[in-house]
Amino acid sequence: MELLGLHKWYRPNLELLGICKVQSIYSENAPNAKKISAKQREQMQNIPLYGMNPGNITEDNKGVLFVDTELPGEKVAARECFKNLTGRYPIGVKDDANKDGTIISYRALGKSGQPKVEIHNMLIKVLEKITFK
């Protein structure tokens, strides 16, 4: 039996089980950290992130901060991330879940050709788009 392209003998990589569980705060001293402007650094102050290497940081006219981040692991990691955040695997190639005021979206194929998980925390007005490479 095959479910969403995964065989019945599929077992998740144990290293991926913790993905998207621990939040991080941006640090310029982190390995491979992208350099960001002083304004972006101020915007990112005390903002919890699930991915690494924040970039393309913008704010819309409603005060929502958009942040692109990345994590390794491609499709398998994206599915595990969605599961760790929502308690279930994504259904199909696009899936959304609402958990405690946060909308979590899964896309098996983003515009870049790589899977994405979007975390829209409406309480602190942050939309993080994680690309899995």
pLDDT digits (tens, 9 = 90+) for 54-95: 888 888 999 899 999 889 889 999 999 999 999 999 999 999
CA-nearest of 132, 127, 96 to 116 is 132
Q: Looking at residue 49, what is its pLDDT? A: 85
CA-nearest of 64, 56, 31, 65 to 131 is 56
Q: Where are the domains of the chain?
A: 12-132
CA-nearest of 89, 99, 101, 93 to 125 is 101
CA-nearest of 31, 30, 25 to 43 is 25
Vertex 132: Cα angle to 130 and 133 (nearest 5): 135
**DSSP 8-state secondary structure symbol assigned to residue 1:** -
How many other β-carbons are positioned within 10 Å of the β-carbon of residue 41?
13
Question: What are the residues whose beta carbons fall under 8 Å from the beta carbon of 53, sequence distance 6 or more?
Answer: 30, 32, 33, 34, 69, 70
For the residues 31-35, what does the mean pLDDT come to? Answer: 57
**pLDDT level of residue 132 (50, 70, 90 thresholds):** very high
Q: Above 60 in pLDDT, residue 46? A: yes
| Residues 2-14: tens digit of each pLDDT | 334 443 444 445 4
Q: pTM value?
A: 0.78
